[in-house]
């Protein structure tokens, strides 16, 4: 295998698969993730006064039942939650009545939107990759609930649900959390993808790609409602895409079973990546649309092992030293081991 320049399935986005600088998992010296102390952590249970009042709280009432509440009183906040949603203290975008659009020789829009933090657990160390089935399912339910709440505003045209893990992946606090930013514009790349998805009311190009990748060396995992693979033009080592098999455009459209499958598959794959690469920093995000039914939602995971540098800025061409075919093999084998252990117990 020699170096190759590969194109994204849909976008005019290229990547250099640099096998001549190929790396094995042990070649990546991932440093131990810096963990802020639980003491004075604004996201730990008991420290609720260090954040704004919660917009949404998930509170267990007995073994099975969970009720949803919010902090009704800014003086006295609930601390019996298992998931807590708060507005971001330093929002990238904020709600507003009035949006100004200005365009002259330059174009701009007022920064309206919203920015929330989903505190995924009261436990400072319960990251997604080590989370229980029930908790990770609840995190994805919270994603759904907040997607619904934020898309009720007319000015919200797109909702980005994402997770930064580790300092090098942009996480400033180590307590388990995801973020949501609602924007007044749809990112251009989504329009470009949609244009090339050729959705005919039933099937889109991603359905074809799924069929193909199921039989390729890049295949990772298939369960009742989801399928995962390393994309042909992976921009980072060990990049993974997890599709919901049915053509749906966002998390609101998923059945509970589909959402649960997606949550568990995400957890399992992150757990395998964490094992292979010694707990690397990573980002994941949900690729989905608010109104555009032509889109086919999925999750993309990006372990952060390489650095976007001068060449990438200049060309928008990433350099990836791990062929996705190698990455998929490692992940498949590790998932097999993990599931074997789970089944044996």
Of 163, 247, 259, 326, which lies in the binding site for its own copies, with binding defined by CB under 8 A? 163
CA distance 278 to 167: 15
- CB of 191 vs its own copies, minimal distance in Å: 9
- CB of 63 vs its own copies, minimal distance in Å: 33
Measured torsion, CA atoms of residues 24, 25, 31, 35, in degrees rounded to the nearest 10:
160
Interaction between residue 194 and its own copies (CB under 8 A)? no
CA distance 48 to 148: 24
CA distance 287 to 242: 10
Out of 115, 124, 175, 177, which one is annotated catalytic?
177
Q: Which is nearer to its own copies, 178 or 225 (CB)?
A: 178
* β 83-87/56-60 pair status: antiparallel
Task: Tell me the backbone φ, ψ of residue 16, rounded to 5 degrees.
Answer: -95, 115
125 given a catalytic annotation = no
Query: Which three-class secondary structure state does DSSP give residue 302?
Result: strand
- Ranges within 212-241 binding its own copies (CB under 8 A): 212, 232-233
- CB of 276 vs its own copies, minimal distance in Å: 21
Interaction between residue 336 and its own copies (CB under 8 A)? no
Contacts of 135 by beta carbon, 8 Å cutoff, 6+ apart = 82, 120, 121, 126
- CB of 247 vs its own copies, minimal distance in Å: 18
- Contacts with its own copies by CB under 8 A lie at 2-7, 9, 12-14, 16-18, 20-21, 90-94, 105-111, 158, 160, 162-164, 168-171, 179, 181, 183-185, 187-189, 208-209, 212, 232-233, 283-287, 300, 302, 307-311, 313-317, 319
**Catalytically annotated residues:** 177
């Amino acid at each position: 295998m020699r170096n190759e320049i590969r194109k994204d399935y849909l976008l005019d986005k290229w990547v250099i698969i640099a096998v001549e600088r190929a790396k094995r998992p042990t070649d990546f010296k991932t440093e131990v993730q810096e963990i802020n102390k639980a003491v004075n952590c604004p996201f730990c249970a008991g420290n609720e006064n260090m954040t704004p009042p919660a917009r949404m709280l998930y509170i267990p009432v007995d073994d099975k039942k969970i009720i949803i509440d919010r902090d009704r009183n800014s003086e006295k906040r609930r601390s019996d939650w298992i998931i807590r949603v708060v507005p971001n203290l330093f929002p990238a975008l904020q709600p507003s009545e009035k949006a100004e659009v200005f365009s002259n020789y330059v174009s701009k829009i007022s920064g309206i939107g919203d920015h929330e933090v989903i505190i995924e657990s009261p436990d400072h160390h319960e990251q997604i990759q080590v989370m229980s089935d029930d908790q990770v399912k609840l995190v994805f339910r919270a994603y759904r609930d907040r997607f619904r709440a934020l898309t009720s505003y007319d000015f919200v045209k797109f909702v980005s649900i994402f997770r930064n893990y580790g300092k090098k992946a942009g996480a400033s606090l180590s307590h388990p959390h995801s973020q949501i930013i609602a924007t007044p514009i749809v990112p251009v790349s989504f329009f470009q993808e949609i244009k090339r998805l050729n959705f005919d009311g039933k099937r889109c190009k991603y359905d074809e790609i799924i069929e193909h990748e199921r039989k390729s060396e890049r295949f990772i995992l298939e369960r009742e409602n989801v399928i995962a693979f390393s994309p042909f033009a992976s921009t980072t080592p060990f990049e993974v895409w997890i599709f919901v098999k049915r053509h749906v455009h966002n998390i609101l459209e998923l059945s509970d079973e589909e959402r649960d499958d997606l949550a568990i598959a995400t957890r399992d794959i992150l757990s395998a990546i964490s094992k292979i690469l010694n707990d690397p920093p990573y980002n994941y995000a949900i690729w989905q649309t608010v109104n555009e039914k032509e889109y086919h939602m999925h999750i993309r995971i990006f372990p952060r092992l390489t650095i976007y540098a001068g060449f990438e800025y200049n060309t928008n061409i990433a350099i990836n030293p791990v062929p996705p075919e190698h990455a998929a093999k490692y992940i498949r084998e590790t998932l097999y081991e993990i599931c074997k252990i789970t089944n044996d117990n």
